[in-house]
Amino acid sequence: MVLNLNEEQIAIRDTFARFTDEQIIPNAEAIDEAHEYPRDIVKQLADLGFIGMRYPEEVGGSNVNLVTFCLCVEEIARGSMSVAGCVSMQSLMGTKFLEMLGNDDIKERLFKPALELEKIGAICMTEPNAGSDLGSLATSATKVDGGYVLNGNKIWVTAAPLADFFTVFARVGEEKLLSIFLVEKDFDGISVGKTIEKMGVWALPTSELALDECFVPDSHCLSKEIGDGEEHLRKLLSEIRIMTGALGLGIARAALDEAVKYAAERQQFGKPINRFQAIQLRLAEMATDLEAATHLVYHAAQLLDEGKEHRKEASMAKMFASEAAATICEKAARIFASYGYAMEYPVQRFLRDVRFILIGGGTSDILKLIIAKELST
């Protein structure tokens, strides 16, 4: 699609495209099968400035707009969803609330080092009985002298086994006002539970987290006003959803590229299978879905960059792009036929990894409800 990119945006995108081609794609299978956080390659991306792209220059970032950021997310996801998940989580959800709400000590001691991957951050929202329904969050924060005592259990905490700090959403007082707290890994009362074995995105560890009488000092209550947690989360959600759409574009491009290449090489009945109409139709559908998703994602990103209303468009972009990516990966596997089931080809990894973005940032059903509500207001 035509984005009217300037020279700087093209140069930034091409930097991450080259890195993906030279460093990520040749190692993607090994990264996947190691089942370990790919610290070395994530550190290289941090050194290229990826984690700080959306932050002001005065705190160590480069302050690029969301369109530029999504271009880079797309390129990295084209190489490996695991790697893209690691760096995108660190660059937004793992660090954003520290930059938005942290005091000078938190920014110097935790946030700035996190931009260089010297510290790793995690966000803790989901609970065993609270996923899409934020109203069901049960983790409590009780005010005591000098701070708060947190109790509760979190689940699906990305990078928890490696994290140096956790942004925790909890409810305060009898009114159960949703608020945000920063918990460091060496605080008493915090413990990382079992690792959740997942069907895909194997290099991005996900675990349970328990808070048992965990004392958090007043300086680590990130909420400026008790109960402002949902408001701050809402400000970030659109960006998360658009970024997740960009993840979908990357993996969909990879699946389409592999399918086109394989269809040109695979011979059946004396000719390449891309000469058969059934294969041509499938490839055309994949390419069209990818183009439509690309327009939606970057349209939403441009709206956000221009300060225009974008909540509906962000939901549309994430919903359509993630569903399109899943469909494209499935169709790619069908073109590979039995080899789409074989571990020697990357299409099986695409099929497993794409499920990650169907959930993160809001399920499609939740997003459809948001879109419908926006249409009626």
Question: Could you read off the pLDDT of 31-79 as tens digits, one per residue?
Answer: 999 999 999 999 999 999 999 999 999 999 999 999 999 999 999 999 9
Question: CB atoms < 10 A from the CB of 261, how many?
Answer: 11
Q: Residue 151's beta-bridge partner residues?
A: 140
Contact 143, 172 (CB under 8 A): yes
Who wins on pLDDT, 65 or 132? 65
CA distance 195 to 98: 25
Question: CB atoms < 10 A from the CB of 148, how many?
Answer: 21
Predicted confidence at residue 27, as pLDDT, reads: 97
- Rounded to an integer, the average pLDDT of 94-105 is 96
End-to-end CA separation in angstroms for the chain: 31
Task: List all residues 6 or more positions away from 123 whose beta carbon is below 8 Å from its beta carbon.
Answer: 89, 93, 94, 97, 157, 158, 166, 167
Question: Could you read off the pLDDT of 197-250 as tens digits, one per residue?
Answer: 999 999 999 999 999 999 999 999 999 999 999 999 988 999 999 999 999 999
Return the exposure string of 2-11: e unless at least 16 CB atoms fall within 10 Å of the residue's CB, then b. ebeeeeebee
CA distance 313 to 300: 5
Predicted confidence at residue 2, as pLDDT, reads: 58
Question: Could you read off the pLDDT of 72-98 as tens digits, one per residue?
Answer: 999 999 999 999 999 999 999 999 999
Residue 132: pLDDT band (50, 70, 90) is: confident
- Rounded to an integer, the average pLDDT of 131-150 is 92
**DSSP secondary structure code for residue 59 in this structure:** G
């035509």: which residue's tokens?
2
Q: Does residue 135 register a pLDDT over 90?
A: no
Predicted confidence at residue 1, as pLDDT, reads: 55
- Rounded (5°) CA angle 53-55-58: 115
Please give the backbone phi and psi of residue 133, each rounded to the nearest 5 degrees, phi first: -90, 90
Mean pLDDT of the chain: 95
Contact 117, 46 (CB under 8 A): yes
Contact 103, 187 (CB under 8 A): no
Residue 133: pLDDT band (50, 70, 90) is: confident
Question: Could you read off the pLDDT of 319-350 as tens digits, one per residue?
Answer: 999 999 999 999 999 999 999 999 999 999 99
Percent helix, percent strand, percent coil in the chain, to nearest 5? 55, 15, 25
The pTM assigned to this predicted structure is 0.95
Ranges 233-237, 271-275, 293-297: which has the least confidence: 233-237
Predicted confidence at residue 134, as pLDDT, reads: 82
